Amino acid sequence: MIPSFIVENSPALMVIVPLVAAFITPFIGRISSGIRSLWVGGAMAVTSAITLILAFDVYSAGTRLYVFGARAASAAIPPDSGGIPIRIIFEVDPMSALMLVITAVSGFAIVLYSLSSERSHTGLESYYTLYLLMITGILGMVSTGDIFNFFVFLEILSLASAGLIAYRIDGGVAVEAALKYFVLSTIGALAILVAIGIYYGEYNALNMAMIAARMQFSLLDQVALVLIIAALAMKCGAVPMHFWTPDAYSMAPSSITALLVVASQASLYGLFRTVFSLYNVTLNAVTVGWLIIILGVLSMVVGVTMAIPQKNVKRLMAYHAVSQTGYMLLGVGVGLAVLGNQSLLDAFGYMAMEGGIFHIINHAMYKGLLFLTAGAIFLRIGTYNLNRMGGLGHSMKWTMVFFVIGALAIAGIPPFNGFASKLMIYESVFVFNPLLAVIAMVVSILTLASFVKVFHSIFMGPKLPEFADVKEAPMPMLLGMGILALVVVLFGLFPGIVVESLITPAAHALVDQGAYISAVLGGA
Protein backbone atom coordinates (compact mmCIF):
# COMPACT_ATOMS: atom_id res chain seq x y z
CA MET A 1 0.00 0.00 0.00
CA ILE A 2 1.05 3.60 -0.53
CA PRO A 3 2.10 5.30 2.74
CA SER A 4 -0.47 7.89 3.82
CA PHE A 5 2.35 10.45 4.20
CA ILE A 6 2.92 10.33 0.45
CA VAL A 7 -0.77 10.54 -0.44
CA GLU A 8 -1.40 13.41 1.98
CA ASN A 9 1.63 15.39 0.87
CA SER A 10 1.57 14.44 -2.80
CA PRO A 11 0.76 17.99 -4.02
CA ALA A 12 3.92 19.31 -2.38
CA LEU A 13 6.06 16.26 -3.12
CA MET A 14 5.34 16.25 -6.84
CA VAL A 15 6.89 19.73 -7.08
CA ILE A 16 9.62 19.31 -4.47
CA VAL A 17 11.03 16.06 -5.89
CA PRO A 18 11.86 17.39 -9.39
CA LEU A 19 12.93 20.76 -7.98
CA VAL A 20 15.43 19.29 -5.54
CA ALA A 21 16.51 16.62 -8.01
CA ALA A 22 17.17 19.33 -10.61
CA PHE A 23 19.70 21.15 -8.45
CA ILE A 24 21.43 17.96 -7.29
CA THR A 25 21.77 16.67 -10.88
CA PRO A 26 24.95 18.65 -11.75
CA PHE A 27 26.71 17.20 -8.69
CA ILE A 28 25.58 13.66 -9.49
CA GLY A 29 26.82 14.15 -13.04
CA ARG A 30 30.34 14.67 -11.71
CA ILE A 31 30.36 11.11 -10.41
CA SER A 32 29.49 9.44 -13.72
CA SER A 33 27.10 9.81 -16.60
CA GLY A 34 25.58 6.39 -15.89
CA ILE A 35 24.70 7.33 -12.30
CA ARG A 36 23.32 10.65 -13.55
CA SER A 37 21.04 8.78 -15.97
CA LEU A 38 19.82 6.58 -13.14
CA TRP A 39 19.30 9.64 -10.95
CA VAL A 40 17.34 11.60 -13.53
CA GLY A 41 15.30 8.59 -14.64
CA GLY A 42 14.59 7.72 -11.02
CA ALA A 43 13.64 11.29 -10.10
CA MET A 44 11.25 11.52 -13.03
CA ALA A 45 9.79 8.07 -12.27
CA VAL A 46 9.17 9.08 -8.64
CA THR A 47 7.69 12.42 -9.73
CA SER A 48 5.38 10.72 -12.22
CA ALA A 49 4.33 8.13 -9.64
CA ILE A 50 3.50 10.78 -7.02
CA THR A 51 1.68 12.84 -9.63
CA LEU A 52 -0.40 9.88 -10.76
CA ILE A 53 -1.18 8.98 -7.14
CA LEU A 54 -2.46 12.51 -6.60
CA ALA A 55 -4.47 12.47 -9.82
CA PHE A 56 -6.03 9.14 -8.89
CA ASP A 57 -6.87 10.48 -5.45
CA VAL A 58 -8.54 13.55 -6.94
CA TYR A 59 -10.57 11.51 -9.43
CA SER A 60 -11.72 9.11 -6.75
CA ALA A 61 -12.18 11.42 -3.74
CA GLY A 62 -12.68 14.88 -5.20
CA THR A 63 -10.77 18.16 -5.17
CA ARG A 64 -7.62 18.19 -3.05
CA LEU A 65 -6.53 21.27 -1.16
CA TYR A 66 -2.96 21.54 0.09
CA VAL A 67 -2.10 24.52 2.26
CA PHE A 68 1.61 25.21 2.53
CA GLY A 69 2.64 26.05 6.08
CA ALA A 70 -0.48 24.57 7.65
CA ARG A 71 -1.10 21.15 9.13
CA ALA A 72 -4.50 20.69 7.51
CA ALA A 73 -6.46 21.95 4.53
CA SER A 74 -9.06 23.28 6.96
CA ALA A 75 -6.49 25.94 7.94
CA ALA A 76 -6.72 27.51 4.48
CA ILE A 77 -7.94 30.73 6.05
CA PRO A 78 -5.92 31.62 9.17
CA PRO A 79 -8.06 33.08 11.98
CA ASP A 80 -6.08 36.34 12.07
CA SER A 81 -6.05 36.95 8.29
CA GLY A 82 -9.32 38.84 8.02
CA GLY A 83 -10.97 35.99 6.13
CA ILE A 84 -8.36 35.96 3.37
CA PRO A 85 -6.44 32.78 2.49
CA ILE A 86 -2.96 34.29 2.68
CA ARG A 87 -0.95 31.05 2.49
CA ILE A 88 0.04 29.44 -0.79
CA ILE A 89 -2.60 26.86 -1.60
CA PHE A 90 -2.56 24.10 -4.19
CA GLU A 91 -6.07 23.35 -5.36
CA VAL A 92 -6.13 20.20 -7.45
CA ASP A 93 -9.50 19.51 -9.04
CA PRO A 94 -10.20 17.03 -11.89
CA MET A 95 -9.12 19.60 -14.52
CA SER A 96 -5.77 20.02 -12.78
CA ALA A 97 -5.57 16.25 -12.32
CA LEU A 98 -5.97 15.75 -16.06
CA MET A 99 -3.03 18.06 -16.69
CA LEU A 100 -1.05 16.16 -14.06
CA VAL A 101 -1.71 12.88 -15.88
CA ILE A 102 -0.50 14.43 -19.15
CA THR A 103 2.69 15.75 -17.53
CA ALA A 104 3.42 12.53 -15.66
CA VAL A 105 3.06 10.26 -18.70
CA SER A 106 4.77 12.58 -21.18
CA GLY A 107 7.52 13.58 -18.75
CA PHE A 108 8.45 9.97 -18.03
CA ALA A 109 8.30 8.85 -21.67
CA ILE A 110 10.41 11.81 -22.77
CA VAL A 111 13.08 11.34 -20.09
CA LEU A 112 13.45 7.68 -21.12
CA TYR A 113 13.89 8.84 -24.71
CA SER A 114 16.35 11.58 -23.71
CA LEU A 115 18.65 9.19 -21.88
CA SER A 116 19.49 7.71 -25.25
CA SER A 117 18.91 10.56 -27.70
CA GLU A 118 21.12 13.04 -25.87
CA ARG A 119 23.82 10.60 -24.77
CA SER A 120 26.43 11.86 -27.21
CA HIS A 121 25.97 15.54 -26.34
CA THR A 122 27.88 17.65 -23.85
CA GLY A 123 26.32 19.86 -21.19
CA LEU A 124 23.91 17.19 -20.02
CA GLU A 125 24.07 18.47 -16.43
CA SER A 126 22.35 21.63 -17.62
CA TYR A 127 20.03 19.69 -19.89
CA TYR A 128 18.62 17.48 -17.16
CA THR A 129 18.57 20.25 -14.57
CA LEU A 130 16.49 22.41 -16.89
CA TYR A 131 14.35 19.44 -17.90
CA LEU A 132 13.39 18.77 -14.28
CA LEU A 133 12.77 22.49 -13.77
CA MET A 134 10.39 22.45 -16.74
CA ILE A 135 8.53 19.57 -15.11
CA THR A 136 8.42 21.53 -11.84
CA GLY A 137 7.06 24.59 -13.61
CA ILE A 138 4.33 22.69 -15.45
CA LEU A 139 3.21 20.72 -12.38
CA GLY A 140 3.14 23.89 -10.29
CA MET A 141 1.21 25.88 -12.89
CA VAL A 142 -1.55 23.33 -13.20
CA SER A 143 -1.88 22.70 -9.46
CA THR A 144 -1.63 26.04 -7.75
CA GLY A 145 -4.63 27.95 -6.50
CA ASP A 146 -2.61 31.12 -5.99
CA ILE A 147 -2.28 33.42 -8.95
CA PHE A 148 1.08 34.89 -7.98
CA ASN A 149 2.37 31.37 -7.45
CA PHE A 150 1.08 30.58 -10.95
CA PHE A 151 3.24 33.44 -12.25
CA VAL A 152 6.29 32.08 -10.39
CA PHE A 153 5.88 28.60 -11.88
CA LEU A 154 5.25 30.13 -15.32
CA GLU A 155 8.57 31.95 -15.02
CA ILE A 156 10.39 28.81 -13.89
CA LEU A 157 8.95 27.05 -16.93
CA SER A 158 9.80 29.87 -19.35
CA LEU A 159 13.39 30.24 -18.15
CA ALA A 160 14.05 26.51 -18.27
CA SER A 161 12.38 26.21 -21.68
CA ALA A 162 14.43 29.06 -23.14
CA GLY A 163 17.64 27.42 -21.90
CA LEU A 164 16.69 24.12 -23.49
CA ILE A 165 15.57 25.64 -26.79
CA ALA A 166 19.08 27.12 -27.06
CA TYR A 167 20.69 23.87 -25.89
CA ARG A 168 22.02 22.75 -29.29
CA ILE A 169 23.26 26.31 -30.19
CA ASP A 170 23.40 25.22 -33.86
CA GLY A 171 25.47 28.07 -35.20
CA GLY A 172 23.48 30.55 -33.14
CA VAL A 173 20.15 29.73 -34.77
CA ALA A 174 18.87 27.84 -31.74
CA VAL A 175 20.00 30.69 -29.51
CA GLU A 176 18.08 33.13 -31.69
CA ALA A 177 14.95 30.98 -31.40
CA ALA A 178 15.40 30.85 -27.64
CA LEU A 179 15.86 34.60 -27.49
CA LYS A 180 12.61 35.18 -29.39
CA TYR A 181 10.79 32.80 -27.07
CA PHE A 182 12.37 34.39 -24.03
CA VAL A 183 11.55 38.00 -25.00
CA LEU A 184 7.94 37.16 -25.82
CA SER A 185 7.58 35.07 -22.68
CA THR A 186 8.96 37.88 -20.56
CA ILE A 187 6.60 40.45 -22.05
CA GLY A 188 3.70 38.04 -21.57
CA ALA A 189 4.75 37.33 -17.99
CA LEU A 190 4.97 41.07 -17.32
CA ALA A 191 1.41 41.48 -18.59
CA ILE A 192 0.28 38.70 -16.26
CA LEU A 193 2.13 40.34 -13.38
CA VAL A 194 0.29 43.61 -14.07
CA ALA A 195 -3.00 41.70 -14.04
CA ILE A 196 -2.05 40.10 -10.72
CA GLY A 197 -1.28 43.57 -9.36
CA ILE A 198 -4.72 44.72 -10.45
CA TYR A 199 -6.39 41.82 -8.64
CA TYR A 200 -4.33 42.41 -5.53
CA GLY A 201 -5.10 46.13 -5.56
CA GLU A 202 -8.81 45.51 -6.05
CA TYR A 203 -9.46 42.46 -3.92
CA ASN A 204 -6.57 42.37 -1.47
CA ALA A 205 -6.00 38.73 -2.33
CA LEU A 206 -3.85 36.49 -4.51
CA ASN A 207 -5.79 33.31 -3.94
CA MET A 208 -7.74 32.52 -7.08
CA ALA A 209 -10.83 31.24 -5.26
CA MET A 210 -10.89 34.42 -3.16
CA ILE A 211 -10.51 36.65 -6.21
CA ALA A 212 -13.24 34.66 -7.98
CA ALA A 213 -15.57 35.07 -5.00
CA ARG A 214 -15.06 38.84 -5.05
CA MET A 215 -14.98 39.29 -8.84
CA GLN A 216 -16.91 42.37 -9.99
CA PHE A 217 -15.84 42.45 -13.67
CA SER A 218 -15.02 46.11 -13.34
CA LEU A 219 -13.07 47.96 -16.02
CA LEU A 220 -9.84 46.98 -14.26
CA ASP A 221 -10.95 43.35 -14.21
CA GLN A 222 -11.61 43.57 -17.93
CA VAL A 223 -8.09 44.91 -18.48
CA ALA A 224 -6.64 42.14 -16.31
CA LEU A 225 -8.66 39.52 -18.19
CA VAL A 226 -7.39 40.69 -21.57
CA LEU A 227 -3.79 40.86 -20.34
CA ILE A 228 -3.97 37.26 -19.14
CA ILE A 229 -5.89 35.89 -22.14
CA ALA A 230 -3.52 37.49 -24.67
CA ALA A 231 -0.38 36.43 -22.80
CA LEU A 232 -1.46 32.82 -22.33
CA ALA A 233 -2.88 32.56 -25.86
CA MET A 234 0.50 33.73 -27.12
CA LYS A 235 2.24 31.19 -24.88
CA CYS A 236 0.13 28.35 -26.22
CA GLY A 237 0.84 29.39 -29.80
CA ALA A 238 -2.53 30.77 -30.91
CA VAL A 239 -2.56 32.58 -34.28
CA PRO A 240 -1.64 35.42 -34.86
CA MET A 241 0.72 35.24 -31.88
CA HIS A 242 2.19 31.91 -32.91
CA PHE A 243 5.30 33.13 -34.72
CA TRP A 244 7.71 31.99 -32.02
CA THR A 245 6.35 28.43 -32.16
CA PRO A 246 7.94 27.09 -35.37
CA ASP A 247 11.23 28.79 -34.49
CA ALA A 248 11.41 27.37 -30.97
CA TYR A 249 9.89 23.96 -31.67
CA SER A 250 12.16 23.31 -34.64
CA MET A 251 15.40 24.37 -32.94
CA ALA A 252 14.94 22.64 -29.58
CA PRO A 253 16.06 19.01 -29.26
CA SER A 254 13.09 16.82 -30.21
CA SER A 255 12.67 15.51 -26.68
CA ILE A 256 12.35 19.09 -25.45
CA THR A 257 9.95 19.95 -28.27
CA ALA A 258 7.71 17.15 -27.05
CA LEU A 259 7.79 18.65 -23.56
CA LEU A 260 7.22 22.15 -24.98
CA VAL A 261 3.91 20.83 -26.31
CA VAL A 262 2.93 19.95 -22.73
CA ALA A 263 4.22 23.34 -21.55
CA SER A 264 2.06 25.11 -24.14
CA GLN A 265 -0.92 23.18 -22.87
CA ALA A 266 -0.18 24.28 -19.32
CA SER A 267 -0.59 27.83 -20.65
CA LEU A 268 -3.83 26.78 -22.30
CA TYR A 269 -4.92 25.38 -18.94
CA GLY A 270 -4.10 28.75 -17.35
CA LEU A 271 -6.24 30.51 -19.95
CA PHE A 272 -9.20 28.20 -19.35
CA ARG A 273 -8.76 28.39 -15.58
CA THR A 274 -8.82 32.19 -15.75
CA VAL A 275 -11.97 32.55 -17.83
CA PHE A 276 -13.93 29.78 -16.10
CA SER A 277 -12.72 29.70 -12.51
CA LEU A 278 -11.77 33.36 -11.98
CA TYR A 279 -14.47 35.12 -14.04
CA ASN A 280 -17.10 32.57 -15.11
CA VAL A 281 -20.52 34.14 -15.69
CA THR A 282 -19.40 37.59 -14.50
CA LEU A 283 -17.68 38.17 -17.85
CA ASN A 284 -19.40 38.80 -21.16
CA ALA A 285 -19.21 35.14 -22.09
CA VAL A 286 -20.43 35.53 -25.67
CA THR A 287 -17.76 38.10 -26.58
CA VAL A 288 -14.89 36.36 -24.82
CA GLY A 289 -16.12 32.98 -26.05
CA TRP A 290 -16.17 34.20 -29.64
CA LEU A 291 -12.72 35.77 -29.27
CA ILE A 292 -11.39 32.37 -28.19
CA ILE A 293 -13.30 30.67 -31.03
CA ILE A 294 -11.81 33.09 -33.57
CA LEU A 295 -8.33 32.47 -32.19
CA GLY A 296 -9.08 28.76 -32.52
CA VAL A 297 -10.29 28.95 -36.11
CA LEU A 298 -7.36 31.13 -37.16
CA SER A 299 -4.96 28.73 -35.45
CA MET A 300 -6.50 25.71 -37.16
CA VAL A 301 -6.51 27.21 -40.66
CA VAL A 302 -3.25 29.18 -40.63
CA GLY A 303 -1.43 26.41 -38.78
CA VAL A 304 -2.32 23.66 -41.22
CA THR A 305 -1.91 25.74 -44.37
CA MET A 306 1.52 26.94 -43.23
CA ALA A 307 2.49 23.36 -42.42
CA ILE A 308 1.85 21.96 -45.89
CA PRO A 309 4.65 23.80 -47.78
CA GLN A 310 7.29 23.26 -45.07
CA LYS A 311 10.44 21.34 -45.95
CA ASN A 312 11.77 21.01 -42.40
CA VAL A 313 9.88 18.19 -40.69
CA LYS A 314 9.99 19.83 -37.27
CA ARG A 315 8.79 23.21 -38.53
CA LEU A 316 6.00 21.34 -40.30
CA MET A 317 5.06 19.55 -37.09
CA ALA A 318 5.28 22.83 -35.15
CA TYR A 319 2.71 24.42 -37.45
CA HIS A 320 0.52 21.39 -36.95
CA ALA A 321 0.85 21.89 -33.19
CA VAL A 322 -0.49 25.42 -33.71
CA SER A 323 -3.31 24.00 -35.81
CA GLN A 324 -4.26 21.39 -33.20
CA THR A 325 -4.29 24.00 -30.45
CA GLY A 326 -7.01 25.62 -32.51
CA TYR A 327 -9.30 22.62 -31.95
CA MET A 328 -8.92 22.96 -28.19
CA LEU A 329 -9.61 26.69 -28.32
CA LEU A 330 -12.61 26.07 -30.57
CA GLY A 331 -14.16 23.41 -28.34
CA VAL A 332 -13.68 25.21 -25.06
CA GLY A 333 -14.52 28.57 -26.67
CA VAL A 334 -17.91 27.24 -27.72
CA GLY A 335 -18.50 26.05 -24.16
CA LEU A 336 -17.61 29.51 -22.90
CA ALA A 337 -19.81 31.27 -25.45
CA VAL A 338 -22.90 29.47 -24.10
CA LEU A 339 -21.83 29.54 -20.46
CA GLY A 340 -24.63 31.87 -19.46
CA ASN A 341 -27.31 29.66 -21.02
CA GLN A 342 -27.77 26.42 -19.08
CA SER A 343 -29.95 24.74 -21.72
CA LEU A 344 -27.40 25.37 -24.50
CA LEU A 345 -24.60 24.35 -22.17
CA ASP A 346 -26.37 21.05 -21.52
CA ALA A 347 -27.36 20.61 -25.18
CA PHE A 348 -23.87 20.94 -26.67
CA GLY A 349 -21.68 23.26 -24.58
CA TYR A 350 -20.39 20.59 -22.23
CA MET A 351 -19.78 18.23 -25.14
CA ALA A 352 -17.77 20.90 -26.99
CA MET A 353 -15.72 21.55 -23.87
CA GLU A 354 -15.17 17.85 -23.29
CA GLY A 355 -14.04 17.50 -26.90
CA GLY A 356 -11.61 20.40 -26.48
CA ILE A 357 -10.29 19.08 -23.18
CA PHE A 358 -10.04 15.51 -24.51
CA HIS A 359 -8.06 16.91 -27.41
CA ILE A 360 -5.56 18.43 -24.95
CA ILE A 361 -4.49 15.04 -23.62
CA ASN A 362 -4.72 13.39 -27.04
CA HIS A 363 -2.62 16.10 -28.62
CA ALA A 364 0.04 15.87 -25.91
CA MET A 365 0.38 12.15 -26.62
CA TYR A 366 0.35 12.05 -30.42
CA LYS A 367 2.19 15.29 -31.02
CA GLY A 368 4.80 14.33 -28.44
CA LEU A 369 5.10 10.99 -30.24
CA LEU A 370 5.52 12.66 -33.64
CA PHE A 371 8.26 14.97 -32.37
CA LEU A 372 10.05 11.99 -30.83
CA THR A 373 9.94 10.13 -34.15
CA ALA A 374 11.42 13.21 -35.84
CA GLY A 375 14.19 13.17 -33.24
CA ALA A 376 14.88 9.47 -33.85
CA ILE A 377 15.20 10.15 -37.58
CA PHE A 378 17.52 13.10 -36.95
CA LEU A 379 19.67 10.94 -34.69
CA ARG A 380 20.19 8.45 -37.51
CA ILE A 381 20.50 10.67 -40.60
CA GLY A 382 21.44 14.07 -39.15
CA THR A 383 18.89 16.22 -40.96
CA TYR A 384 15.33 17.47 -40.62
CA ASN A 385 15.16 18.36 -44.32
CA LEU A 386 12.37 16.36 -45.96
CA ASN A 387 13.92 16.86 -49.40
CA ARG A 388 16.95 14.87 -48.32
CA MET A 389 15.04 11.96 -46.79
CA GLY A 390 13.56 8.81 -48.26
CA GLY A 391 13.33 5.05 -47.94
CA LEU A 392 13.83 4.99 -44.17
CA GLY A 393 10.93 2.59 -43.74
CA HIS A 394 13.35 -0.18 -44.79
CA SER A 395 15.64 0.36 -41.84
CA MET A 396 13.56 2.15 -39.16
CA LYS A 397 10.45 -0.01 -39.07
CA TRP A 398 9.44 0.65 -35.46
CA THR A 399 9.94 4.37 -35.84
CA MET A 400 7.77 4.20 -38.97
CA VAL A 401 5.03 2.33 -37.08
CA PHE A 402 5.08 4.93 -34.30
CA PHE A 403 5.03 7.74 -36.85
CA VAL A 404 2.02 6.20 -38.61
CA ILE A 405 0.16 5.90 -35.31
CA GLY A 406 0.87 9.55 -34.47
CA ALA A 407 0.08 10.76 -38.00
CA LEU A 408 -3.24 8.93 -38.20
CA ALA A 409 -4.16 10.20 -34.74
CA ILE A 410 -3.41 13.84 -35.54
CA ALA A 411 -5.33 13.58 -38.81
CA GLY A 412 -8.37 12.31 -36.90
CA ILE A 413 -8.47 8.89 -38.51
CA PRO A 414 -10.37 6.19 -36.59
CA PRO A 415 -9.76 4.28 -34.43
CA PHE A 416 -7.03 6.50 -32.95
CA ASN A 417 -7.55 8.97 -30.13
CA GLY A 418 -7.53 12.13 -32.30
CA PHE A 419 -10.66 10.93 -34.05
CA ALA A 420 -12.61 10.53 -30.81
CA SER A 421 -11.94 14.06 -29.56
CA LYS A 422 -12.41 15.61 -32.98
CA LEU A 423 -15.73 13.81 -33.43
CA MET A 424 -16.94 15.29 -30.15
CA ILE A 425 -15.86 18.74 -31.33
CA TYR A 426 -17.39 18.37 -34.82
CA GLU A 427 -20.80 17.25 -33.61
CA SER A 428 -21.18 19.74 -30.77
CA VAL A 429 -19.73 22.69 -32.66
CA PHE A 430 -22.00 21.88 -35.62
CA VAL A 431 -25.03 22.56 -33.42
CA PHE A 432 -23.52 25.88 -32.34
CA ASN A 433 -22.42 26.96 -35.81
CA PRO A 434 -22.19 24.53 -38.77
CA LEU A 435 -19.57 26.60 -40.58
CA LEU A 436 -17.12 26.19 -37.71
CA ALA A 437 -17.56 22.41 -37.79
CA VAL A 438 -17.01 22.35 -41.56
CA ILE A 439 -13.80 24.36 -41.17
CA ALA A 440 -12.62 21.96 -38.47
CA MET A 441 -13.25 18.98 -40.78
CA VAL A 442 -11.49 20.59 -43.74
CA VAL A 443 -8.49 21.29 -41.50
CA SER A 444 -8.40 17.60 -40.57
CA ILE A 445 -8.36 16.64 -44.25
CA LEU A 446 -5.49 19.05 -44.89
CA THR A 447 -3.68 17.61 -41.86
CA LEU A 448 -3.99 14.15 -43.36
CA ALA A 449 -2.71 15.43 -46.70
CA SER A 450 0.27 17.02 -44.99
CA PHE A 451 1.20 13.87 -43.10
CA VAL A 452 0.80 11.73 -46.22
CA LYS A 453 3.49 13.93 -47.73
CA VAL A 454 5.72 13.56 -44.68
CA PHE A 455 5.21 9.80 -44.52
CA HIS A 456 6.03 9.41 -48.20
CA SER A 457 9.04 11.71 -48.00
CA ILE A 458 10.63 10.03 -44.98
CA PHE A 459 9.73 6.37 -45.14
CA MET A 460 8.61 5.45 -48.66
CA GLY A 461 10.65 4.87 -51.78
CA PRO A 462 13.70 2.69 -52.38
CA LYS A 463 16.43 2.41 -49.80
CA LEU A 464 18.72 5.31 -50.64
CA PRO A 465 22.48 4.66 -50.92
CA GLU A 466 23.33 7.47 -48.48
CA PHE A 467 21.17 5.81 -45.82
CA ALA A 468 22.37 2.26 -46.48
CA ASP A 469 23.89 1.94 -43.01
CA VAL A 470 21.03 3.54 -41.08
CA LYS A 471 19.83 1.48 -38.14
CA GLU A 472 16.70 1.53 -36.03
CA ALA A 473 16.58 4.00 -33.12
CA PRO A 474 18.05 2.75 -29.81
CA MET A 475 15.82 0.80 -27.45
CA PRO A 476 15.27 3.53 -24.79
CA MET A 477 14.06 5.89 -27.52
CA LEU A 478 11.72 3.21 -28.86
CA LEU A 479 10.45 2.64 -25.33
CA GLY A 480 9.70 6.35 -24.88
CA MET A 481 7.87 6.45 -28.20
CA GLY A 482 6.14 3.17 -27.39
CA ILE A 483 4.63 4.50 -24.16
CA LEU A 484 3.06 7.45 -25.99
CA ALA A 485 1.95 5.26 -28.91
CA LEU A 486 0.30 2.86 -26.50
CA VAL A 487 -1.67 5.69 -24.90
CA VAL A 488 -2.71 6.95 -28.35
CA VAL A 489 -4.02 3.50 -29.30
CA LEU A 490 -5.71 2.74 -25.96
CA PHE A 491 -7.40 6.14 -25.78
CA GLY A 492 -8.61 5.59 -29.32
CA LEU A 493 -9.96 2.09 -28.64
CA PHE A 494 -11.61 2.94 -25.32
CA PRO A 495 -12.68 6.57 -25.62
CA GLY A 496 -15.84 5.97 -23.57
CA ILE A 497 -14.04 5.13 -20.36
CA VAL A 498 -11.47 7.91 -20.83
CA VAL A 499 -14.16 10.54 -21.33
CA GLU A 500 -16.29 9.16 -18.54
CA SER A 501 -13.52 8.95 -15.97
CA LEU A 502 -11.08 11.73 -16.92
CA ILE A 503 -12.65 14.25 -19.27
CA THR A 504 -16.22 14.79 -18.07
CA PRO A 505 -15.14 15.45 -14.46
CA ALA A 506 -12.51 17.89 -15.76
CA ALA A 507 -15.03 19.83 -17.89
CA HIS A 508 -17.55 20.01 -15.05
CA ALA A 509 -14.85 21.10 -12.58
CA LEU A 510 -13.90 23.88 -14.96
CA VAL A 511 -17.45 25.14 -15.32
CA ASP A 512 -18.40 24.77 -11.66
CA GLN A 513 -16.93 27.95 -10.24
CA GLY A 514 -18.91 27.57 -7.01
CA ALA A 515 -17.18 24.29 -6.19
CA TYR A 516 -13.78 25.81 -6.96
CA ILE A 517 -14.45 28.69 -4.59
CA SER A 518 -16.04 26.70 -1.81
CA ALA A 519 -13.16 24.20 -1.77
CA VAL A 520 -11.02 27.01 -0.34
CA LEU A 521 -13.40 29.39 1.33
CA GLY A 522 -15.52 26.56 2.66
CA GLY A 523 -12.37 25.01 4.15
CA ALA A 524 -12.94 21.70 2.37
Partner 1 sequence: MPWWTRARISARSSEVHETMDLTSTLLTGAGSWNPLPWVLGMVVAAIIAWLIYSMGEKGYKAGTAQAEPFISGNPEPEKGMVHVRAGNLYWGYLEALKGYYDRLVPLHTGDLHDYVLWYLGITALFLVLVVISA
Chain-centroid distance, C-alpha 4: 29
Contact 311, 387 (CB under 8 A): yes
Q: Of 183, 157, 334, give the one whose Cα is nearest residue 247.
A: 183
Residues 228-247 that bind partner 1 (CB under 8 A): 229-231, 233-234, 240-241, 243-244, 246-247
Indicate whether 423 belongs to the interface with partner 1 (CB under 8 A). Answer: yes
Indicate whether 431 belongs to the interface with partner 1 (CB under 8 A). Answer: yes
Indicate whether 188 belongs to the interface with partner 1 (CB under 8 A). Answer: yes
Residues 444-503 that bind partner 1 (CB under 8 A): 449, 453-454, 456-457, 460-466, 492-497, 499-500
Residue 1: burial class (beta carbons within 10 Å; 0-12, 13-18, 19+): exposed
Helix, coil or strand: residue 66: strand
Residues 368-387 that bind partner 1 (CB under 8 A): 386-387
Extended beta strands in 344-426, E state:
none
Indicate whether 268 belongs to the interface with partner 1 (CB under 8 A). Answer: no
In whole angstroms, the minimum distance from the beta carbon of 18 to partner 1 comes to 30
Residues 283-312: x/- map of binding to partner 1 (CB under 8 A)? xx-xxx--x----------x--xx-xx-x-
Contact 333, 292 (CB under 8 A): yes
Indicate whether 348 belongs to the interface with partner 1 (CB under 8 A). Answer: yes
Report the distance separating Cα 187 and Cα 209, nearest Å. 26
Report the distance separating Cα 208 and Cα 518, nearest Å. 11
In whole angstroms, the minimum distance from the beta carbon of 205 to partner 1 comes to 22
Quick one: which H or E segment has residue 80?
none
Residues 100-129 that bind partner 1 (CB under 8 A): none
In whole angstroms, the minimum distance from the beta carbon of 163 to partner 1 comes to 18
Contact 199, 205 (CB under 8 A): yes
Q: Of 331, 258, 246, give the one whose Cα is nearest residue 295.
A: 331
Indicate whether 70 belongs to the interface with partner 1 (CB under 8 A). Answer: no
Report the distance separating Cα 8 and Cα 13, nearest Å. 9
Report the distance separating Cα 225 and Cα 474, nearest Å. 47
CB-nearer residue toward partner 1: 398 or 430: 430
Q: Which residue among 105, 139, 184, 307 contacts partner 1 (CB under 8 A)?
A: 184
Q: Which residue among 60, 61, 171, 219 contacts partner 1 (CB under 8 A)?
A: 219
Q: Which residue among 7, 70, 347, 401 contacts partner 1 (CB under 8 A)?
A: 347
Indicate whether 327 belongs to the interface with partner 1 (CB under 8 A). Answer: no
Residues 350-369: x/- map of binding to partner 1 (CB under 8 A)? -x------------------
